[in-house]
Structure 1
Amino acid sequence: MTSDQGPIVQSALLRTELVRLRKEKKLTQEQVARQLEWSPSKLIRVEGGKNAVTRTDLQALLRVYDVTSEARQERLQSLARGAREPAWWNAYRDELDPRFLNYVGYAAGAAYIRQFHGAVVPGLIQTPEYAEVLSTGKASEKGRVLAAKLRIQRQQELAKRQHPPRQHYIIDEAVIRRHVGIGIDPAIMPNQLTSIADASERNDLLTIRILPFSAGAHPGLEGPFSMLEFDGDLDDILYLEGRSGASLMITGEDDRIPEYRDTFELLLEQSLSADESIELLRQSAEQLMA
């Protein structure tokens, strides 16, 4: 069955399973390489995602690991084919940070996206007009256009998936009170807020919660963050968003992942309910239009 998780996630799923198969056979990388007459560095690159896994190489590995089930072989070959597919976000590599695009690739295949933001509307729920205003600080005109285009294409690509991810956003009230775009078109921000409210009401997979000013100081003041969860045996990913060059993607057994998971739950407890959040979004839109 073809996956729609994108090449980065399919590659990660494939590599995770290959490592598990090797460890189940109690084989070291050197032992496997010796059996296949490979250099140890080749297997290290394959398991580390530096080399694509060809059909021939995968068949060779599965023979060493005694994987005889046709269904399992086909599933792994399907992952390998998907991992070799060109990524739609490659079109942005010349102008945008490749580390952020790597995160984009993982988010494109996530099953659950959670994010807190205290400064701007999260990219996956931005309108094109709002996204364009936020991109005005890019160094080049091309970079500005591509940054705005990327935000909208991410939304479109997620919507195409057979099983789109659940998305859960916590937004500080400061975000919805800031009249972004007022000097260009005063309707940009009210339309953005109305768009969020409408989308939340019609999409069962989208939840918006507003963290009100009345919550006072809160852990989210340390900065925006995102968490990704996946179908399949992949670790969660934590993305700490910063200024250009300062963002950080964290995975594996890092202690910060459960810490931020707890932080998200704490912020939820301090936030308005989903219905109250939608009501506040619409009220703020009306006030900004007045």
Structure 2
Amino acid sequence: MDELHRLNQGARAKAWWSDFKNDVSNAYLAYVGFEAGASEIRQFQPLAIPGLLQTQAYAESLAHAEHDPDALDSLVKLRLMRQETLRQRSTPPREIFVLDEAVVRRHVGVRRDRTIMPTQLRHMVSVAERSEQINIRIVPFSVGSHIGMLRGAFTLLKFDSGLGELLHIECGDLHETVTGEDPRISDVHADFKAILEEALSPAESLSFITDVADGMR
């Protein structure tokens, strides 16, 4: 077992996220432990707003569709606490999110409340504008196909103190964490770089998101 896993196991025994051990999978909880100590978070999402950017209403809408209603409150609380604890750290991590245009176009929550999605989009813009540590990029439909369509959602975590990097792959309720010398980490590095090259600039991306929000009135 490598150093990252040893640190994660020790942290889980005493950290705030251990309160959710009866509500979410061990694999997801292990990822939360790794995320809490990361110095940089890079994530690509082709379908949904990243959990670290979600509003409560958006998170509830997704949870209603994906999970047992009995676990909904805990899942939403966990997502919001992840955001809060990361950004209250003395040295918050750098967060880079690359989203396919489909993520911001899909009107999540429209059957409950038409304001959920435009509010979510404006929240993302506000979060990125308030913090130099948070960067949001959009891959527009106009670029056509791109490697992210085949790769699917993933997160790369970087750590200080010479620790190795980590790859987290998520597909619905299935979570896989990859560490060490696994070649998938370098493969995804290359894919993330390629996806970034297709994305709009940070300023263009925030303007794009705002325009989409305005169109959802």
- Asked whether the two chains share a fold, i.e. TM above 0.5, the reply is yes
Task: Report if aligned partners of 1:172, 1:210 keep a CA contact under 8 Å in 2.
Answer: yes
**Length-normalised TM-score, structure 1:** 0.70
Note if 1:104 corresponds to 2:29: no
* Coordinate RMSD, CA, aligned: 1.8
1:93 maps to which of 5, 18, 21: 21
Letter in 1 for 2:7: A
- Gaps (5+ residues) in structure 1? 1-7, 14-48, 53-82
1:228 maps to which of 143, 157, 178: 157
Q: Residue by residue, what CA displacement relative to the aligned partner does 1:1-35 show, whole Å, maximum 9, x if unpaired?
A: xxxxxxx969539xxxxxxxxxxxxxxxxxxxxxx
Q: Residue by residue, what CA displacement relative to the aligned partner does 1:239-285 show, whole Å, maximum 9, x if unpaired?
A: 111122x3211000011101101111100000000000000000000
Q: Aligned with 1:247: secondary structure?
A: strand
Q: Aligned with 1:262: secondary structure?
A: helix
Counterpart in 2 of 1:240? 169
Equivalent residues in 2 for 1:1-290, closer than 5 Å? 11-12=6-7, 83=11, 86-222=14-150, 223-244=152-173, 246-289=174-217
Deviation at 1:198, TM superposition (A): 1.1
In 2, Cα distance between the equivalents of 1:161 and 1:280?
Answer: 30
Sequence identity (%): 39
Q: Residue by residue, what CA displacement relative to the aligned partner does 1:92-148 show, whole Å, maximum 9, x if unpaired?
A: 111211101100100011000000001000000101110010000355333111111
Q: Aligned with 1:214: secondary structure?
A: helix
Q: How many residues align?
A: 214
> Which one has a bigger Cα radius of gyration?
1
In 1, Cα distance between the equivalents of 2:162 and 2:135?
Answer: 25
Letter in 1 for 2:164: D
Structure 1 or 2: more strand by fraction: 2
Alpha carbons of 1:119 and 1:12: their partners in 2 closer, same or farther (altered >3 Å)? same
Higher relative contact order at CA 8 Å, sep ≥6: structure 1 or structure 2? 2
Q: Aligned with 2:47: secondary structure?
A: coil
Q: Aligned with 1:249: secondary structure?
A: strand
**Length-normalised TM-score, structure 2:** 0.93
